[in-house]
A and B are shown apart, each in its own frame.
Chain A
Amino acid sequence: MTETSSLGALFRRWKRRLPLSAADEAAVTNLNWARKQYQRDAYLAREGEHVTVCTVLLQGFAYRQKILSDGSRQIISFHIPGEFLDLQNCLLEVADHNVQALTRCLVAVVSKELLLQVMSDRPAVRQAIWLDSLLDASVFREWVVNVGRRDARQRIAHLLCELALRLKAAGLGEGPLFDFPLTQEQIADATGLTAVHTNRTLQALRRAGLINLTASKLTILDWDALAEAGDFSERYLHHSV
């Protein structure tokens, strides 16, 4: 198994936060994981489905979203390799949102019973998974603030700061250049803005020399200015935990 098709990124992320023994790692690795591939835009899970598995992203990027009865879409998080996409499914029966591939994705899937079993057998694994779910929740809270109390420029700058910092923490780019293929439509859906407003705001951020965004790359040209523009404080990412 090559490094990028293994759970290495998951373990590295966990080990940044807590001690994980070789036996803990082996116990998780030896669960009956299945690998699955998805094309860009494919659905990994749909709202309303009864879900019996949990999924770790190994390669590519994914996002979670909800679609309202009028068809509008709100993106509620973006995910990078080494992260669970649906940890809540280990204990909740029905998916309350959709999970979609942002790029081509490779994921590892495990039955929730096996995951719960290893959590009861291994305190460190339980704590790691528990922490993951609390960190997810912290990011959701920050997104409530972002759409609720920040203007368009702050919202978009904040989103880009978050993505850059998470990519960097995962070792996926040192900056200023990040391989993260985000469309303007997706940025709009993640920030509750219209496509037109998003386009104008991105152009303003670019003109001000803060960022450059192409179809596949995000370049942060002036981190301090972008963090200030985004009212960004990294406490909610709990990187020091």
Chain B
Amino acid sequence: MDMPHETALQLLARKLNLHHRLSDLDRQAILELPHKIRRLEAQSYILREGDRPDRCAVLLQGYAFRHKLTGEGARQILAINIPGEALDFQNLFLEEADHNVQMLSRGITADVPREAIEALIAEHSEVGKAILITTLVEASIFREWVVNIGQRDSRSRIAHLLCEFAYRVNAQELHTGAIYELPITQEQLADATGLTPVHVNRVLQALQREGLIERDRRMIRFPSWERMRDVADFNPRYLHTADLS
């Protein structure tokens, strides 16, 4: 898990460049951002609701999730983040975090001071655009989650979340029946879909019986991506990977 310090932000530069073509100079500016590497255990908090964030964590390894607690203490997961994604861009320019960010698995982050990101945006306008695009795509994913929980039945809802995760982690291999690590417990899956863990368990078993998914502990595989996509009512348009300039 060792990572040379100077290349730590390569993954972020690559992700941003996917969203918006960057010059060598822009990419260099990203790599040169001051940062501190942090190793985190599963469940550790990156950010808590009400915090005033002074740094922005970039996820280098492992998975993280965003969530909120209701007044009654029920938890709703809002998003899952994968390596290369910045966890605090949503809080740039906002004073107070309106949700929690927590590690889903063990992982590593590079923490960049917030002022350094703000300076980068001010001095490198194309990097600023790329960062804004990533936050806009995240917002689109939040919208789709409103739809997913608001309108889809439990079967499509869970299938949709599984499709989204697979697509974001590796869109190229969807049709090959590749095996994925699904770093999320049934309880977390329930909190991400507004269901109970018992209900989630029943649905996963049904999807398995129908041959739509194969599971072995944390590994999952879709024998037929097309069938899974149809059950999920999944259209990747909202991920905006096809229409990026």
Which A residues are closer than 8 A to B by beta carbons?
Answer: 47-48, 50, 64, 66, 68-70, 72-74, 76, 87-88, 91-94, 96-97, 116, 120, 123, 126-127, 130-131, 133-138, 140-145, 147-150, 191-192, 231, 233, 235-236, 238, 240-241
Residue of B nearest to A88 (CB): B136
Q: Assuming A69-B233, A92-B133, A130-B132, is B76 touching A149 (CB within 8 A)? A: yes
Q: Assuming A91-B133, A134-B135, is B142 touching A149 (CB within 8 A)? A: no
Total A-B pairs, Cβ < 8 A: 146
Q: Assuming A133-B139, A134-B90, is B122 touching A74 (CB within 8 A)? A: no
**In the complex, B155 has a CB within 8 A of chain A:** no
Q: Assuming A96-B240, A145-B68, A235-B49, is B98 touching A138 (CB within 8 A)? A: yes
- Tell me which residues across on chain A come within 8 A of B136, comparing CB atoms: 87-88, 91-92, 133
Considering the chains assembled together, what is the distance between the CA atoms of A64 and B68 in angstroms?
23
Q: In the bound complex, do residue B71 and residue A68 qualify as a contact, i.e. CB atoms below 8 Å apart?
A: no
Q: Assuming A68-B152, A133-B132, A149-B76, is B94 touching A93 (CB within 8 A)? A: no
Within B19-77, which residues are at the interface with A (CB < 8 Å)? 20, 49-50, 66, 68, 70-72, 74-76
Q: Which of A48, A97, A147 has the most CB of B within 10 A?
A: A147
Q: Assuming A130-B92, A131-B93, is B146 touching A144 (CB within 8 A)? A: yes
Q: Assuming A68-B152, A191-B150, A192-B149, is B143 touching A94 (CB within 8 A)? A: no
Considering the chains assembled together, what is the distance between the CA atoms of A68 and B151 in angstroms?
8
- Tell me which residues across on chain B come within 8 A of A148, comparing CB atoms: 76, 149, 191, 193-194
**In the complex, B245 has a CB within 8 A of chain A:** yes
B225 to chain A, nearest CB (A): 17
Considering the chains assembled together, what is the distance between the CA atoms of A116 and B20 in angstroms?
14
Listed A/B pairs (20) with beta-carbon separation below 8 Å:
A47-B237, A66-B143, A66-B144, A68-B147, A73-B151, A76-B147, A91-B20, A91-B133, A93-B243, A93-B244, A93-B245, A134-B94, A138-B90, A140-B143, A143-B142, A148-B193, A149-B74, A238-B95, A241-B94, A241-B95
